[in-house]
Amino acid sequence: MSTVVENKPALAPEVTAFLNKAVQKAFVGGRWVEAADGATFDVLDPGTGQKIATVASLKKADVDKAVDIAVDAFHNSGWAKMPVNERSAVLHRIADAVEKRIHIFAQIESLDCGKVYGQAVGDIQNFIDTFRYFADLSQSVNYRNVIAVKHHEAWVARHPWGACGFIIPWNFPFLLAGWGLAPALAAGNTCVLKPAEDTPLSSLYLCHMLQELELLPAGVLNVVTGLGSEAGAAVSQNPKFRRMSFTGSPEVGRMVAEACGRNLVPVKCELGGKGAAVVFNDVDIAETAEKLVQAITFHTGQVCCDATRWLIQKDIYSDFVDECITRMKSVQVGYPMDEGTQMGPVVSAKQKARVLSYLQKGVAGGADLILEGGEAKVPGKNGFYVKPALLAGSLDNIAAREEIFGPVAYLAPFSSEEEGIRLANDTEYGLGNSVWSRDLARCARVAESFESGNGWINAHNVIVHGVPYAGVGKSGMGGGVVSPDTLNDYLRPISVVRPL
């Protein structure tokens, strides 16, 4: 692993020590374990294309053992029965400990998924905020609702479900681990987390921290590293889970939901998107163009709810396009931990090929490539870099309909409010759309007309703890995240009735 140390003299000593481990093992039952067959896979730094870790590649039998351990910890570790205020205090301690190490976690996240360092810090802060949010919320939930019914004494009690499974993607590894784990743990459940193969390191470092500080009983949080088709499939197929949460693509989401359906395990899916921004002619053109350019280049466009279809009212269309081209051209592509970098690489060679192929397919289908994009070169770094790109034309084009997951936006004009809404909703996805106008009454009307889980006004990608975040259609099913509803999802209601 010496390459890592040479390349990043500024790395924290804790990060160097962590990356210098010969094999990053999975964390099961409070111990570090290898796959029974000894298999491993490599993890790369997307900014250099170089290997930074060798990680245990768990198979079905290894995963099933981890689930058994999580079930046992649910019944026997004391976590599920711990008084709510004590459990809440543990979650706060975890948040405090991560906060103390925020730069360690951010360096690991930046290296592992190619995230611009400052954005990685933001993700770790979000994890901390999520833990604090659910720790506090868990203390004010009503765990026993008395129901007034004739001739009966009745109440609904709420208890944790048991072992819960989590399968998460590579674009926001630590932030999404927080969104999943915090409500489940706050409610008293035990967890098995399968991180993405490209980005397992921050969740493993979390386990390292939890073990060192003895913050959770053994078996309450287990991280099973491995390939999607093996470890991921094994998590989705295990009938001993009481709840499952999947975040990722609609294609894999379908497989996970099918497997859960067979076992009658309740599953929630947070899936992809093809969000629209509907921009009216009364906006400040420069300011709005700047915000949309920031949105599509943030984490190199690998954001599920991003504004990828920019619908612009006809009379400002050409001025707006000019503003966007100028701003997109000036975005500084570079190594994620270098000062001045505004946009880092995409996560993998596969993702780079996907982005470039959509530009080709879009043009082949008749779209205008109004800002060329393509491969970007960063001196001295052989990573997975692409330039931001803009396409325009018919919204029937493949690049306007399918999720690209890169710094590529598709522009089209519209005339009336009604047409803007219709075009925004003309998609199989339904995660986040935004409306841009000085007329706030119109904004409220348009935002509510979106057939999506989220409608944002004069901003995009706005996710706030306390406000439900979920998708409809191909963007998700079965509930959302970061709100009181989410905590409730991890509490099993039991109705108790006594005839009087």
Helix (H, G, I), strand (E, B) or coil at 231: helix
Cα dist from 442 to 137, 141, 282, 462, 474, whole Å: 34, 36, 11, 19, 27
In the set 304, 305, 324, 443, the catalytic residue is 304
Nearer residue to ligand NAP within complex by CB, 393 or 476: 476
Are the beta carbons of 186 and 164 closer than 8 angstroms?
Answer: no
The residue count for binding ligand NAP (CB under 6 A) is: 32
Determine, following the binding rule CB under 6 A, whether residue 167 of this chain makes contact with ligand NAP: yes
Residue 304 contact among Mg ion, ligand NAP, none, beta carbon within 5 to 8 Å by kind:
ligand NAP
* The only residue of 30, 248, 275, 373 in contact with ligand NAP, by rule CB under 6 A: 248
What's the chain's length in residues?
500
CA distance 338 to 334: 7
Q: From the CA atom positions of the chain, what is the Rg in Å? A: 23
Active site residue 324: no
Residues 190/21, Cβ–Cβ less than 8 Å: no
Type of residue numbered 416: S
Burial of 466 (0-12, 13-18, 19+ CB in 10 A): exposed
Residue with tokens 């390349």: 7
- Is 304 known to be catalytic? yes
| Residue 112 in the binding site for Mg ion (CB under 5 A) | yes
Within a 13 Å sphere around the CA of 195, how many CA atoms are in the beta-carbon half? 34
Nearer to Mg ion, 175 or 359 (CB): 175
Shortest Cβ distance from residue 489 to ligand NAP (Å)?
Answer: 15
**Interaction with Mg ion in 14-73: which residues (CB under 5 A)?**
43
271 binds ligand NAP (CB under 6 A): yes
The entry of ligand NAP, Mg ion, none that residue 202 binds, CB within 5 to 8 Å by partner kind: none
Of 8 and 194, the one with the shorter C-beta distance to ligand NAP is: 194
How far is residue 464 from each of residues 179, 246, 454, measured CA to CA in Å? 12, 20, 11
The correct pick among 162, 272, 362, 383 for binding ligand NAP (CB under 6 A) is 272
Centre a 10 Å sphere on the Cβ of residue 318 and count the other Cβ atoms it contains.
11
Kindly tell me which residue out of 62, 197, 198, 417 binds Mg ion, with binding defined by CB under 5 A: 198
Question: Does residue 404 interact with ligand NAP by CB under 6 A?
Answer: no
Give me the least distance between CB of 69 and ligand NAP, in Å please.
20
State the catalytic residues: 270, 304
Binding site for ligand NAP (CB under 6 A): 167-172, 194, 196-198, 227-229, 232-233, 236, 247-249, 252, 255-256, 270-273, 304, 403, 405, 431, 471, 476
Binding site for Mg ion (CB under 5 A): 43, 112, 198
